[in-house]
Structure 1
Amino acid sequence: MNNPTNDSLYSAPVAAWLAEGQSSQRDMLESLQALKGKSDEPFDVIASHRHNRPEIFEFADVMYYEPSEAAIENDTQETSETVMPRWQFVLEHAKTNNVKVILTGRNGIDYETHREKFNAAGIRLLTGATSVAALESIDDKFAFMQQCHQHNIPVADAWRFDNTAELEALLAEHGHQPLCVKPVVGIFAQGFWRLDSGKECGEHYDSFEHLYFTEEKKINTAQFVNAYASSQMVHERPIPMLLMPYLSGQEYSIDVVCEYGEVLAAITRHKTGKIQHIGYEHSVMEVVIPLIKAFGCDGIVSVQTKADDDGQHRVLEINSRPSGGIGYTSHSGLDLTQAGFSYWLGLTDKPSLDASIQKITACQVRSIMMSVKIEDAAE
């Protein structure tokens, strides 16, 4: 960067900051670099992470290591330098880098608690919503379901259980239908299982088949109950769970650029085998648009829906952060990362959903494995 002789005539470029995410940080940074390459207005791309992630940082103009939870928890008055909380660390460096917009990634509530400080610094904070209460209701899948019902949004039913007795009572009441279980709070389908009572296949089930074809995520109902009841982990750290009807229809993932509950752009995806089908499914979005409004979603979020036996699309959950597949959207003609950040950085006018839809060309995408060298072997 040139150093102008007259500082009064020089204005440092604005910057966009992507904090540590779950799985899409690298793809989004790459999209921002592509946007930067075709923009008439300069801007910097900043990334941060707790760990050494050179494959992520390679797409950043500036990078920072976020304070880890362990460092913050172990910080004492005896240390020579106090470890800042993550939100404060990011805020202080954002001020010195002329950051205009921050997408918080995986730690949204940490930042959301201090939204007013980011506002005071003139920084557009994107956490997925605009209040801690909204983020907490999104994370808690049981509270999320109840709020959907309050807004008359079609949602997958769920019944919470906190112990074996409650689970057995629910199975006695609802066991006449295909069922599944998942944690009240969780990501990446951790803890999700379809329950196999044998009723779908003539009172026959094969436990080894469940173990062999793990991608089916099926387990015999009695074995699940026994494992749950006998778990030392659950005994020491109770895990609230949900029992739910298993919906048989097509599942969709929807990537959404939104602002204060308004959908600005969105792309729907569904998967058959290894192929992702990218486009804009109006029947799915009829459920998603009021959902985004009801929860006041703000930033780039992802939604999962699934159709029931009658073809009605029902909401499964909102993730208050970009999905791992948001990079796929670039193949459609509408890169959602660029659509959102070009607006928030002031490079373009506010997108409209109708105009965004016109840019989408339906396509099919197959993900491929790639490798990135991160360092030389130790001598």
Structure 2
Amino acid sequence: MNNLANDSVHSTPVAAWLAEGQSSQRDMLESLQTLKNQLNDSFNIIASHRHNRPEIFEFADRVYREPYPAKVGIVDEIKEMTESATPRWQFVLEHAKANNVQVLLTGRNGVDYEAHREIFDAAGIRLLTGATSVAALESIEDKFAFMQQCHEHSIPVADAWRFDNTAELEALLAEHGHQPLCVKPVVGIFAQGFWRLDTGKSEDSAYDSFEHLYFTEEKKINTAQFINAYNNSVMVHKRPIPMLLMPYLSGQEYSIDVVCEYGEVLAAVTRYKTGKIQHIGYDRSVMDVVIPLIKAFGCDGIVSVQTKADDNGQHCVLEINSRPSGGIGYTTHSGIDLTQVGFGYWLGLTEKPKLADITQKIEPCQVRSIMVSVKIDDTTE
């Protein structure tokens, strides 16, 4: 089964395509349906995913299953795979041309598409990968290279020191252990592998040896136990995982959703979290860091940025995610739906957004996320 749609196309309205994302594809498709209804069905909405995701597909006019090469030994996943030798980018390109797609947001596989940007350009498809070159996407993904490039552009950024083995980690700890520290992978998402280390320099004199196993959401670990686990990890020995040692910044962390074009910020909404509450608005002191950051990396599309303040209140960049954040749907509560702002413009339905105008329309608010269940039909194949 290569797709879930009838491939015959009887009319050629323009279309927007959202390929498989990390976590916000459903929310964005819902926003696009709202925009479409407001504009009297002036465009089609296409979604694709490697798995059968009816709760996502319900907000698309047309859906496709993306090719996903089988992994040896992963028998249980075979039902969820689209058996095809066609590369994902080529599969999407062929169907995008057939459906008069004008804008394609690539989601989680941006590098695959970016390597073939010229072909998409030639087909008249506005490709949104988060940047406009493979090199830029790779420097965004590699957090150590990212930090170095920020320094080159005089952008405040959280410092980091790379280690690839226990000896390097212990040497770094000997040099930098006078301050609160944390570790995270050079490449990773969703805070995977992030831990605050007990160096005796934090607000706690020492982390309980059992606490990090019991309260995992606190992301704290005893330094000696982290070293021991890292040194004796079978996983790390089989597949080395480059890591970063970093100063732990104690200030407020922000997530910033950004609509941008070739390094220019067109619209943005900032948010920070206290407990379970998201505070939505537009913090100019945070954006003073974000705007030059987006320009330096030539970001293009809808991306998200994380910043955190140091002890002096200076906002420092943590990372750019070259795709929409899982919380981009929260922006709808501020009076500015960034999905609609971006796609309305790229589809030629609205004028080019101006950041100064957008900021005037943002209504600060507080948001609490809740769990929503969706009934789906039996999808056994």
- TM bucket (normalised to shorter chain) is over 0.9
1:42-191 aligned within 5 A = 42-70=42-70, 83-191=85-193
1:214 shift after superposition? 1.4
Distance 1:234 1:293 in 2: 36
Distance 1:39 1:134 in 2: 35
1:225 to 224, 227, 244: 227
Distance 2:291 2:112 in 1: 27
The one-character-per-residue Cα deviations of 1:332-373 (angstroms, maximum 9, x if unpaired) are 000000000000000011000001111100000000001001
Structure 2 alignment gaps of length 5 or more: 1-9, 75-82
Q: In the alignment, which residue of structure 1 is the partner of 2:344?
A: 342
Q: Is the 8 A contact 2:178 2:199 kept in 1?
A: no
- Aligned pair count reads 364
Name the aligned partner's letter for residue 370 of structure 1.
V
Q: Is the 8 A contact 1:197 1:222 kept in 2?
A: no
The one-character-per-residue Cα deviations of 1:160-210 (angstroms, maximum 9, x if unpaired) are 000111000000000000000000000000000000133436744311122
* The 10-residue stretch of structure 1 (44-53 or 191-200) with the greater mean CA deviation from structure 2: 191-200
Structure 1 alignment gaps of length 5 or more: 1-9, 75-80
Q: Is the 8 A contact 1:279 1:363 kept in 2?
A: yes
The one-character-per-residue Cα deviations of 1:90-148 (angstroms, maximum 9, x if unpaired) are 00000010100000000000000000000000000000000000000000000000000
Q: Is the 8 A contact 2:67 2:84 kept in 1?
A: no
Q: In the alignment, which residue of structure 2 is the partner of 1:316?
A: 318
Indicate whether 1:307 and 2:303 are aligned: no
Change (3 A) 1:191 1:71: closer
Distance 1:344 1:51 in 2: 27
1:187-226 aligned within 5 A = 187-200=189-202, 203-226=205-228
1:281-296 aligned within 5 A = 281-296=283-298
Change (3 A) 1:154 1:343: same
Misfit runs of 4+, over 6 Å: none
Distance 1:253 1:294 in 2: 19
Change (3 A) 1:202 1:297: closer
Q: Is the 8 A contact 2:68 2:84 kept in 1?
A: no
Name the aligned partner's letter for residue 175 of structure 1.
G
Q: In the alignment, which residue of structure 2 is the partner of 1:7?
A: none
Change (3 A) 1:32 1:248: same
Q: Is the 8 A contact 1:41 1:347 kept in 2?
A: no
Name the aligned partner's letter for residue 377 of structure 2.
E
Q: Is the 8 A contact 1:253 1:270 kept in 2?
A: yes
Distance 2:310 2:285 in 1: 13
Distance 2:200 2:248 in 1: 14
Q: In the alignment, which residue of structure 1 is the partner of 2:3?
A: none
1:11 shift after superposition? 6.4
1:12 shift after superposition? 2.0
Distance 2:37 2:160 in 1: 47
1:207 is paired with a residue of what secondary structure?
coil
Distance 2:306 2:194 in 1: 14
Change (3 A) 1:126 1:178: same
1:189 is paired with a residue of what secondary structure?
coil
Distance 1:360 1:292 in 2: 20
Q: In the alignment, which residue of structure 1 is the partner of 2:19?
A: 19
Q: Is the 8 A contact 1:13 1:98 kept in 2?
A: yes
Indicate whether 1:271 and 2:273 are aligned: yes
Q: TM-score, normalised by structure 1?
A: 0.93
Q: Is the 8 A contact 1:256 1:265 kept in 2?
A: yes
Indicate whether 1:39 and 2:48 are aligned: no
Distance 1:371 1:94 in 2: 31
The one-character-per-residue Cα deviations of 1:56-110 (angstroms, maximum 9, x if unpaired) are 00000000000003289x9xxxxxx962100000000000101000000000000
2:55 is paired with a residue of what secondary structure?
helix
1:211 shift after superposition? 1.8
1:244 is paired with a residue of what secondary structure?
strand
Distance 1:113 1:375 in 2: 37
Distance 1:201 1:97 in 2: 57
2:140 is paired with a residue of what secondary structure?
helix
2:363 is paired with a residue of what secondary structure?
coil
1:70 is paired with a residue of what secondary structure?
coil
Among all aligned residue pairs of Structure 1 and Structure 2, give the percentage whose two residues are the same amino acid: 82
1:87 is paired with a residue of what secondary structure?
helix
The one-character-per-residue Cα deviations of 1:233-290 (angstroms, maximum 9, x if unpaired) are 1111000000000000000000000000000000000000000000000000000000
2:144 is paired with a residue of what secondary structure?
helix
Distance 1:166 1:243 in 2: 10
Q: In the alignment, which residue of structure 2 is the partner of 1:357?
A: 359
Change (3 A) 1:100 1:207: same
Name the aligned partner's letter for residue 353 of structure 2.
P
